[in-house]
Amino acid sequence: MKRSVVLGTGSFLPRRELTNADLERMVDTSDEWIASRTGIRTRRIAGKGEENYRLAAGAARRALEMAGLEAGEIDLIVVATMTPHMTMPSCACFVQAEIGAQRAFAYDLNAACSGYLFALDMADKYVLNKPDMNILVIGSETLSARVNWQDRNTCILFGDGAGACVLSGRDHGGGIIDSQLFTDGNLWELLYMHSPKSLNPDLVQPGDDHGYIRMTGRDVFKFAVRAMEESVTALLQRNGIATKDIGLMIPHQANIRIIHKLMERLGVPEEKVYINVNKYGNTSAASIPIALDEANRQGLIRRGDLVLFCAFGGGFTWGSMLMCW
Ligand code: ACO
């Protein structure tokens, strides 16, 4: 049976680094506070010529190169993002033009920080239906454009970047095994970002403040840990897989304390968890594919290994996915 397998991975980060020391000069904070509460030491911030779609295209080119495919062989491009540089056309349309993937149809998907898992899950369904499809699944964000740089509660947390993989159908025994996705729209007010202000006065949202990202950190923290733990536990159970059988866990990189709590509750040892939140901060939908690409290029995943992904984000949205490499 043909399953969706990853033929290649890629990532692309903006050049400019913004360290905790830099942030100390911008808001009332300290390297010690940021590092101890979040694990973040530095993050990348997009500059001129590094719009979201250009980061996405950079990651896509690297994934294509590893897959040994030309852009013209791609059938579909899905970009998981909540920070496209334009509302229309989608980021995916710009990527299609930028890399020259003429035969691909392309669109964006927004499930906040869980976006990459939602996009992979959807791409998997296309491949199961048509195994010959080559799909570029990209997670790309420029959250720096939507952060209030005067708000120390949020501006220390986020970073920019992109990651991608090429997915296609193969029957070599590996591939996506199962996934589980969830949404609870009732909890949206704990983590949100307004759209650009409505030009229809009747539709202006109360509290709209330039579309900055907003959150109630402690509630998000608690819900995120519990939701990801429950999702992973249920996914492993229904596939008859024990935690000790996991080769590598790649969680969404929001905060080291969320990751540590999750590891503790699931009983996954540190050496089996890929962590890079210290280098890039929370890159939302880009965090899982950037981590996957780094782990892959470092040789941390071998053919036959079980890879476990889990994510949590605004919506709330969350879920997990199991893949055999
Ligand atoms: N530097 C110094 N002090 C700060 C900073 C800062 N950057 N930010 C907040 N503080 C202060 C607060 O003002 C508060 O001061 P007060 O007690 O005088 O009022 C104090 O630190 C404690 O604030 P809390 O918000 O209670 O701090 P907490 O320990 O909860 O840590 C944090 C905040 C890191 C945001 C935490 O709640 C968290 O990790 N939440 C998870 C949210 C998250 O990761 N969101 C990302 C998006 S969602 C996702 O991707 C899963």
What CATH number does residue 270 fall under?
3.40.47.10
Mutate to test the pocket of ligand 1, among 29, 155, 221, 261 (most ligand atoms within 8 A of CB): 221
| Residue type at 234 in one-letter notation | A
Residues 190 and 305 in one domain: yes
pLDDT, residue 205, reads: 84
**Look-up of token digits 């296609």:** 168
Q: 108 with 22, same domain? A: yes
**pLDDT confidence of 211, banded at 50, 70, 90?**
confident
Predicted confidence (pLDDT) per residue in 5-38, tens digit: 999 999 999 999 999 999 999 999 999 999 999 9
Q: Tell me the CA–centroid distance for residue 223 and ligand 1, in Å.
A: 15
What is the position in ligand 1's atom list of the atom closest to the CA of 221? 41
Instruction: Quote the pLDDT of residue 73.
Output: 98
Whether 164 and 198 map to the same domain: the answer is no
Residue 1's pLDDT is 86
- Of all protein residues, the one whose alpha carbon is nearest to atom 33 of ligand 1 is 217
At how many degrees (to 10) do helices 91-99 and 52-67 cross?
A: 50
pLDDT(208) > 90 = no
Q: Give 312's DSSP letter.
A: E
For ligand 1, what atom is nearest to the CA of residue 213?
47
DSSP category for residue 158: B
Q: Nearest 5°: phi and psi at 22? A: -60, -40
Query: Look-up: residue for tokens 């059988």?
Result: 245
Cis peptide before 316 (omega within 30 of 0): yes
Average model confidence (pLDDT) for the chain?
A: 96
Ligand 1 centre from 293 Cα, in Å?
29
- Residue whose Cα lies nearest atom 26 of ligand 1: it is 218
Residue 139 Cβ inside 6 Å of ligand 1? The answer reads no
Longest C-alpha distance within the chain, in Å? Answer: 57
Whether residue 231 has its Cβ less than 6 Å from ligand 1: no
Pocket test for ligand 1, best of 25, 182, 218 (most atoms within 8 A of CB): 218
Bin 68: left if φ > 0, else alpha if -120 < ψ < 50, else beta. left
Instruction: Give the SS3 label for residue 282.
Output: strand
Enumerate residues 6+ apart whose C-beta is below 8 A from 208.
194, 197, 198
The per-residue pLDDT for 197 is 82
pLDDT confidence bin for 69, thresholds 50/70/90: very high
In 146-291, where do the E strands start and end?
A: 160-170, 175-183, 191-193, 213-215, 248-251
> Residue 223: its pLDDT value, please?
97
Verify that 317 and 184 share a domain, yes or no.
yes
CB 10 within 8 A of CB 65: yes
Q: Are residues 150 and 186 in the same domain?
A: no
Residue type (1 letter), 320: S
- Print the domain residue range for 247: 176-324
With a cut of 80, say whether residue 119 has pLDDT above it: yes
Q: For residue range 31-67, what is the model confidence (pLDDT) as tens digits?
A: 999 999 999 999 999 999 999 999 999 999 999 999 9
Which residues are part of the catalytic machinery?
113, 252, 282
Query: What percent of the chain is modeled with pLDDT above 90?
Result: 94
pLDDT value at 210 more than 80: no
pLDDT at 250 over 80: yes
The alpha carbon of 266 is separated from its chain's Cα centroid by a whole number of angstroms, namely 21
Amino acid found at 256: I
> What would the mean pLDDT of 255-271 be, rounded to a whole number?
96
Phi, psi of 171 (to 5 degrees): -120, 40
Give the total number of structural domains in the chain. 2
**H-helix or E-strand spanning residue 5:** strand 3-12
Do residues 184 and 97 share a domain? no
Q: 255, 275, 284, 316: which to mutate for ligand 1, most atoms within 8 A of CB?
A: 255
Query: Is residue 21 located within the same domain as residue 76?
Result: yes
* Among 172, 195, 217, residue at a domain's last position: 172
Tally of CA atoms within 13 A in the half-sphere of 311 that contains its CB: 35
The domain boundary, picked from 172, 197, 230, lies at 172
The tokens of 62 are what?
């690297």
How far is the centre of ligand 1, averaged over its atoms, from the C-alpha of 26 (Å)?
Answer: 17
Give me the pLDDT at residue 172, please.
Answer: 86
Q: Is the CB of 283 under 6 A from ligand 1?
A: no
Question: Which residue lies with its CA nearest to atom 31 of ligand 1?
Answer: 37
The residue among 156, 172, 188 that closes a domain is 172
The predicted pLDDT at position 204 comes to 87
60 plus 160 within the same structural domain: yes
Compute CA distances 169 → 63, 108, 137, whole Å.
Answer: 16, 22, 14
Q: What's residue 126's pLDDT?
A: 98
Q: Using 50, 70 and 90 to split pLDDT, how confident is the model at 196?
A: confident
One domain for residues 11 and 160: yes
Same domain, 191 and 149: no
Query: Please, which pLDDT band fits residue 168 given cuts at 50, 70 and 90?
Result: very high
Please give the distance, rounded to the nearest whole angstrom, from the Cα atom of residue 159 to the centre of ligand 1.
Answer: 16
* pLDDT at 320 (0 to 100): 98
- Is residue 235's pLDDT more than 90? yes
Residue 112 · residue 191 · CB < 8 Å: yes
Residue nearest to atom 46 of ligand 1 (CA): 254
Q: Which of 145-149, 199-203, 258-262, 318-322 has the lowest mean pLDDT?
A: 199-203
Task: Note whether 62 and 69 are within 8 A (CB).
Answer: no
Q: Is the CB of 259 under 6 A from ligand 1?
A: no
Whether residue 149 is found in the same domain as residue 231: no
Nearest Cα to Cα of residue 20 among 197, 143, 157, 113: 157
State the Cα–Cα distance between residues 128 and 189, nearest whole angstrom: 36
Residue nearest to atom 41 of ligand 1 (CA): 221
Q: What is the mean pLDDT of residues 179-206?
A: 92
Q: Is 272 in the pocket of ligand 1 (CB under 6 A)?
A: no
* Distance in angstroms (rounded) separating the CA atoms of residues 194 and 139: 20
Same domain, residue pair 154 and 7: yes
